[in-house]
Amino acid sequence: MLSKPGHEDCPGARQRVGSSYDPAAIDSENVRFDDPKQTQQIALSSIYQARSGATVESLVAAVSSPEFLSASAKIYANKSDELTMQEAVAWEYYLGAEMTLFENNHQQYEMGFLSEEHWQRNITELKCKFELPLNRQMMENWFYRESFTVYPKSAVNS
């Protein structure tokens, strides 16, 4: 603990810690300093896990709606032009949640928390998603982190 020795709270803080700081008592060979970048990345990984969890809940809600099921049937029957507004919104909500998951996975991949093999599967899935013209059309107006943007764009252009 670093503090101003003359401050009125200092003796109480020393009492809680146990004693005054004695530099000679510390064996510099055994002191370990955490890597601040790694500490930050570990803290952020839990945020991305929570974001993934929330996104999965959104996906479950999206695919549970009758509008989504109806939209899916029309899209896979090559009848995207027959979607009602409610079906189109349900489909875009679903697609947006999936893209959030992909972007989240990319962030974890960049931080080293996701293997190359797992990320390559994500790229393959992205390419499959954008084989559907409707998905390409919907994606044109979405924005992502700059480092992730290359992946949906390359999937659209492949």
How much is the pLDDT for 52? 76
Task: Give the best-scoring range by mean pLDDT among 40-49, 58-67, 85-94.
Answer: 85-94
How much is the pLDDT for 9? 54
Model confidence band, residue 114 (pLDDT cutoffs 50, 70, 90):
confident
70-104 confidence digits (pLDDT tens): 999 999 899 999 999 999 999 998 998 888 888 88
Q: What is the DSSP string of 52-91?
A: HHHHHHHHHHHHHSHHHHHHHHHHHTT-GGG--HHHHHHH
- For residue 27, report the phi and psi dihedrals to the nearest 5 degrees: -85, 105
How much is the pLDDT for 57? 86
Greater confidence, 93 or 34?
Answer: 93
Site of tokens 């064996």: 27
Q: Is 112 left (phi over 0), alpha (psi -120 to 50) or beta?
A: left
Q: What angle is formed at CA 101 by the lines to CA 83 and CA 35, rounded to 5 degrees? A: 165
Model confidence band, residue 42 (pLDDT cutoffs 50, 70, 90):
low
3-state secondary structure 87-114: HHHHHHHHHHHHHHHHHHHHHHHHHCCC
Report, as an integer, the average pLDDT of 144-152. Answer: 77
Model confidence band, residue 152 (pLDDT cutoffs 50, 70, 90):
confident
- Residue 110's contacts (CB-CB under 8 Å, 6 or more residues apart) are 147
* Per-domain boundaries in the chain: 35-140
pTM for the whole structure: 0.64
- Token pair belonging to 33: 């300093």
- Token pair belonging to 68: 């989504």
